[in-house]
């Protein structure tokens, strides 16, 4: 039997933006929508058009720009909301109006001040009116998991007869648990006579930390659309996390027997973009996209990963768009992880020197939470190897500006002989590095550059740390300090080149 597809409905731009502190302007929403398109989500809920003029414009702009996805706009069951959604989506190739009304006793009594019949009538009328603007109508009985089942069955049946194409079951306040939600989905499928005419969807919140588990339980029991957000952002504790749902289905495919159309290699890039633009950082231990998700510090784990990644990694990093996992060096790390990092930095020590370096590493690890490459370099340089100063910076001059081609003149002492070269570049640092390359003629490529201030004030000392890679993919790090960041950059580059010649 062919596997069925689970439709991924992304609501990052609507429910996700409702996260406290998150607010996106029109350009940022468009940028995220374009990345969601590359991620290949099926539905993009672009916003709530009736909520503000800016929101209307954002939904309208996304509808105009993205033509190969369903673009949804949220609307309450009022005619004004539905009209606003219809107008905002008028240029969409595949528009969907998503309308909703609360169905739980507590919401109907205290928020809506409506009885069952009034809510039912409003829902049916809204779906019928929305059909004037689109053939694709989604209806959500808000707070479904705290609603009375018989009333829920009744309203679902009526909105389907009125023309709904998707019915979404929201766990609006994150109240349910997986077994309970699975039973609700089964009961809906068994009790609503016309349920096969629509796509059954779920939208779970994370107030009890169960949004993903509840969504997956619903998929097992027949839901074929899942509403979720990037990084799980959203109201209160957030929504079900898109990346966790997608990767659970992918990694445990034999269990779920369904598939999604998501291009998983775009997951990490999408996560970073949403985090940057929303201003909401991703917690380090967040599943799939957290900084520590593919990081290993324990020596036993590092040894296993070095021998066979699958010993401790159930997801290959490249599947979500990462180059690889990270071995974090700290007090829990073992000799294998330390030796591997040394080799990556271009150091192949004798057994005796390796033993001495490992002792120094462990002493330092007891004082620091994490050991960085620069710490390892210092251990090797100060205690094991001395770097010959084959090249030494003597003089540097840079001409640059916003309307000037950056140009650098560099003098370097090479085996006691002064050599001078000049070069242009994309910026002052690039110009300096090109001039140094002309003198040293070393076949390395710059792969990492970082600059930070190590003191305060206007005359702060700048520290530049770089990494270069040779043709054999060996890495060599360089470090430079100066109150002039251009000079610090040059010193770091020459430091790395001297290490290359040491090898």
| DSSP codes, 67-100 | -SSEEEEEEESSHHHHHHHHHHTTT-SSEEEEEE
User: So where are the chain's domains?
Assistant: 4-278, 295-383, 391-502
Q: So what CATH class is 391-502?
A: alpha beta
Cα gap 410→419, rounded to integer Å = 8
Contact indicator for 250, 295 with CB cutoff of 8 Å: no
Query: At which residue do the structure tokens 């740390």 appear?
Result: 465
Of 381, 385, 433, the C-alpha closest to 407 is 433
Q: Which of 210, 215, 209 is nearest to 228 (CA)?
A: 215
Does 203 carry a binding-site annotation?
yes
pLDDT at 457 (0 to 100): 59
Q: What pairing do the DSSP bridges indicate for beta strands 137-142 and 166-171?
A: parallel
CA distance 336 to 306: 8
Mean pLDDT of 154-178: 98
Given this model, what pLDDT does residue 290 score? Answer: 87
Distance in angstroms between the alpha carbons of the first and the last residue of the chain: 59
pTM for the predicted model, two decimal places: 0.72
Weakest mean pLDDT among 49-58, 159-168, 236-245, 396-405: 396-405
> Residues 6 or more apart from 329 whose CB is under 8 A from it?
297, 337, 338, 341, 361, 365, 370, 371, 376
Flag whether pLDDT at 428 surpasses 90.
yes
Confidence (pLDDT) at 168: 98
DSSP states along 224-271? -EEEEBGGG--STT-B-BHHHHHHHHHHTHHHH-EE----GGGHHHHH
Is 347 assigned to a binding site? no
Residue 336 among known ligand-binding residues = no
Report CA 232 to chain centroid distance, whole Å. 10
Question: Residue 1: pLDDT above 60?
Answer: no
For the chain, what percent of residues have pLDDT higher than 90?
65
Is a pLDDT exceeding 60 seen at residue 385? Answer: no
The phi, psi pair for 86, rounded to 5°, reads -60, -40
Q: How confident is the model at residue 460 (pLDDT cuts 50, 70, 90)?
A: low
Measure Cα distances from 367 to 260, 330, 363, 412 in Å: 46, 10, 7, 38
- CATH, range 4-278: 3.20.20.70
242-295 tens-digit pLDDT: 999 999 999 999 999 999 999 999 999 999 999 999 999 999 899 999 887 776
What span, in angstroms and rounded, lies between the C-alpha atoms of 199 and 90? 23
Buried b (16+ CB within 10 A) or exposed e, 476-485: bbbbbebeeb
Separation of alpha carbons 367 and 383, rounded Å: 18
pLDDT higher than threshold 60 for residue 361: yes
CB neighbour list of residue 44: distance below 8 Å, 6 or more residues apart: 10, 13, 33, 36, 37, 62, 66, 69, 70, 71, 72
The reply to whether 301 sits in an annotated binding site is no
**What CA–CA distance (Å, rounded) separates 365 from 331?**
5
CB-CB neighbours of 473 under 10 Å:
8
- So what's the pLDDT on residue 343? 77
Among 391, 373, 406, 387, CA closest to 490: 391
What pLDDT does 503 receive?
65
């Amino acid at each position: 039997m062919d596997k069925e597809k689970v439709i991924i409905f992304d609501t990052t731009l609507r429910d996700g933006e409702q996260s406290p502190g998150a607010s996106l302007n029109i350009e940022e929403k468009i940028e995220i929508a374009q990345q969601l398109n590359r991620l290949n989500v099926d539905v993009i809920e672009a916003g709530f058009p009736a909520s503000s003029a800016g929101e209307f414009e954002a939904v309208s702009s996304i509808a105009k720009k993205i033509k190969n996805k369903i673009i949804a706009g949220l609307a309450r069951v009022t005619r004004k909301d539905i009209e606003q959604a219809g107008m905002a989506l008028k240029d969409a190739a595949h528009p969907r109006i998503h309308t909703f009304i609360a169905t739980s006793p507590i919401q109907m009594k205290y928020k809506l001040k409506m009885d069952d019949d009034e809510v039912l009538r409003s829902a049916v009328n809204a779906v019928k009116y929305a059909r004037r603007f689109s053939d694709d109508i989604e209806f959500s009985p808000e707070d479904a998991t705290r609603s009375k089942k018989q009333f829920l069955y009744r309203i679902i049946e009526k909105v389907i007869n009125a023309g709904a194409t998707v019915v979404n079951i929201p766990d609006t306040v994150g109240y349910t648990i997986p077994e309970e939600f699975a039973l609700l989905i089964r009961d809906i499928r068994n009790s609503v006579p016309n349920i096969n005419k629509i796509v059954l969807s779920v939208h779970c919140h994370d107030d009890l930390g169960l949004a993903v588990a509840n969504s997956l339980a619903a998929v097992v029991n027949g839901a074929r659309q899942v509403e979720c957000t990037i990084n799980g952002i959203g109201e209160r504790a957030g929504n079900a996390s898109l990346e966790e749902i997608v990767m659970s289905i992918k990694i445990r495919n034999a269990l779920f027997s369904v598939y999604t159309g998501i291009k998983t290699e775009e997951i990490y890039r999408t996560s970073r973009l949403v985090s940057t633009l929303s201003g909401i950082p991703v917690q380090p231990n967040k599943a799939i996209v957290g900084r520590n998700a593919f990081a290993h510090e324990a020596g036993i784990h590092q040894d296993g990963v070095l021998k066979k990644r699958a010993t401790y990694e159930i997801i290959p990093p490249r599947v979500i768009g990462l180059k690889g996992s990270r071995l974090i060096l700290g007090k829990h790390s073992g000799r294998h992880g330390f030796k591997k990092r040394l080799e990556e930095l271009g150091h192949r020590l004798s057994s005796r020197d390796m033993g001495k370096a490992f002792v120094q590493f462990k002493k330092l690890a007891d004082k620091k939470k994490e050991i960085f490459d620069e710490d390892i370099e210092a251990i090797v340089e100060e205690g094991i190897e001395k770097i010959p100063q084959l090249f030494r910076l003597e003089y540097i001059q840079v001409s640059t500006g916003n309307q000037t081609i950056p140009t650098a003149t560099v003098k370097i002492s090479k085996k006691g002989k002064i050599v001078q070269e000049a070069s242009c570049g994309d910026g002052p640092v690039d110009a300096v590095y090109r001039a140094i390359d002309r003198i040293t003629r070393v076949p390395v490529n710059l792969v990492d550059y970082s600059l930070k201030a190590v003191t305060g004030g206007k005359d702060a000392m700048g520290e530049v740390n770089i990494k270069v890679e040779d043709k054999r993919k060996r890495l060599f790090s360089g470090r430079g300090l100066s109150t002039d960041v251009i000079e610090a950059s040059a010193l770091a580059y020459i430091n790395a080149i001297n290490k290359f010649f040491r090898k």
